[in-house]
Each structure stands twice: as C-alpha cells, then as structure tokens.
Amino acid sequence: MKPRSVGDAVRLLFVGFYTLIVLGPLVWLVVTSFKTSAEIYGSPWTLPARMQWDNYVRAWFEANIGQYLFNSIFVTAVSISLIVIIAAMAAYVLVRYPFRGSRIILVAFVSGLMVPVQIALVPLHDLLRTLGLLDSYWGLIPVYIAFSLPFTVFLLSGYFSTLPRDLEQAAIIDGCSHAQVFWRVMLPVSKPAVMTALIFNFLGIWNEFILALIILASDELKTLPLGLADLQVVMRYQVDWGALFAGLVIAIVPIFIGYIFLQEQVTEGATMGALKG
C-alpha cells in the first residue's frame, strides 16, 4: 500500500509499530524457548548457542503437557457441541413458539450474561460435592454448559428471530414435525450463527481456568490452563525457564495450526457476533 499522503504515512507507521508489538512477544517466546536457563538469565536478546530441543522434551514429559492438551481438546469439543445443540433447541422454542412465561425464561437466560463466575464458585463446588461430581468431567462439562447458555441462547435467539417464517411454514406444509423442522431447516440455515456460537464458546472454554481449577484435582484430568499454571510453579522451583517457555509454545502451537486452517471461519464467526449481536 503506497502512502498517498502524510496521513497515510502516519497510519502506515502505526500499523507497522503495532505489528511489532503483536509479533514481538510471540517471536521472543519462541526464540527463548530454545535457550538454556543460563542463557536466558544472561540476556534476553541473545540467540541460543544451540537449539535446546531438550526444553520441549522436558515440558512434554515432566510437565505432562501432552496429556493436558488432549484433555482440553476433549473437554472443549464435547462441551461446545452440547452447548450449541442444547442452546439452539431452547432458543428455537422460545423464539418461535412463545407461550406464557417464555419471555421470562428468555430474559432469565440472557441476564445470566451479567453474572460473573465467582459469584457461584463456592456453592457450585458444594453442589458438585453433594452430587459426587467433583474431580470428574461429569461435573465440569455440565457446569461449562450452564455458564455458556446465556450467551449462546442470546446469540441464537437473536439470530432465529431474524429468519423469515416462511421457511418453517414450507417445511410444516411438507409434513415435517416440529422437531424435524428444527434439525432439517432451522439449524442448517443458521450456520453463520452456529459457527459464531461454536467459536466463541470454544475460546471461552479452551481458556477457562478458575472453574477447572476448583472442580478438577487429578492430574490425568487437568486441562491445559491448569497444566500451564502448574508448569509455571514447577519450573520456577527448578529454575527451568527454558522448559517453561517451551511449554508455553507447545500450548500455543495447536491454536496456531488450527487458526491457519480455520482462519476464515474464525474471523467470520467473530464478525457474525458483531453483526447480529
């Protein structure tokens, strides 16, 4: 883009500068992940004398990053699938088949958006304890679903209400049951909103920390954020900064790869949130 004026040049400068700010920390992270702890202590700028792939090995095995990664993938995939389906079903009924009280239910869901997680932490934990669901995905996933419902119901109900009724009418005339209308007509047509819901929920759950922290305890079950926090503490005691940086890179790489492949959907999804929100 050739600057056509002073204004443009200034804009270009800003863009360049900010690009450095975004990329800088990430590049530094990767470079540092290949240094020894002594090198890291010595100077932040030097390049590693040799690539310490060892750091990655330690991060993977000693810190169990592989296990945590898999756990996160599992928990997130299951959660977001269930969330979207369950929320879509509810949103559909509330928007298309209103009855007395349906408005209240919808408001109840949506006002959940204002509720911070902290407020329910203690009793939630107690509830799970009573139900015997602590330290298990049977406890974690329903909680994730419950806390994602407000946003997802809000998003989907908003979207559904903009769709023309003729779609359903046509399907009903064709002999579909209400449920079939939902699965065969509404959902497919709502793909953009569904994608948005999936993406937003993915981000929310993939990064979720405090609920997982309180609910999960066994190492085999821990998700990636918990694992990283653990890694920070462990590597700090061993003064193994190299492995810590390597662990961070390992945690970021899958997202990076996923992003490269799904970039369009992700940005589209984010923008859907903007336009229909």
What's the 3-state SS for 109-140?
Answer: HHHHHHCCCHHHHHHHHHHHHHHCCCCCHHHH
Nearer to another protein, 14 or 53 (CB): 14
What's the closest the beta carbon of residue 239 comes to another protein, in angstroms? 4
d(CA 220, CA 114): 33
Nearer to another protein, 197 or 215 (CB): 215
**CA torsion, ordered 43, 45, 49, 55, to nearest 10 deg:** 80
What's the closest the beta carbon of residue 120 comes to another protein, in angstroms? 4
Nearer to another protein, 23 or 51 (CB): 23
d(CA 68, CA 74): 10
Nearer to another protein, 43 or 188 (CB): 43
Nearer to another protein, 166 or 233 (CB): 233
d(CA 24, CA 8): 24
The SS3 of residue 76 is helix
Q: Is 269 within 8 Å of 276 (Cβ atoms)? A: no
What's the closest the beta carbon of residue 144 comes to another protein, in angstroms? 9
What's the closest the beta carbon of residue 69 comes to another protein, in angstroms? 11
d(CA 76, CA 206): 6
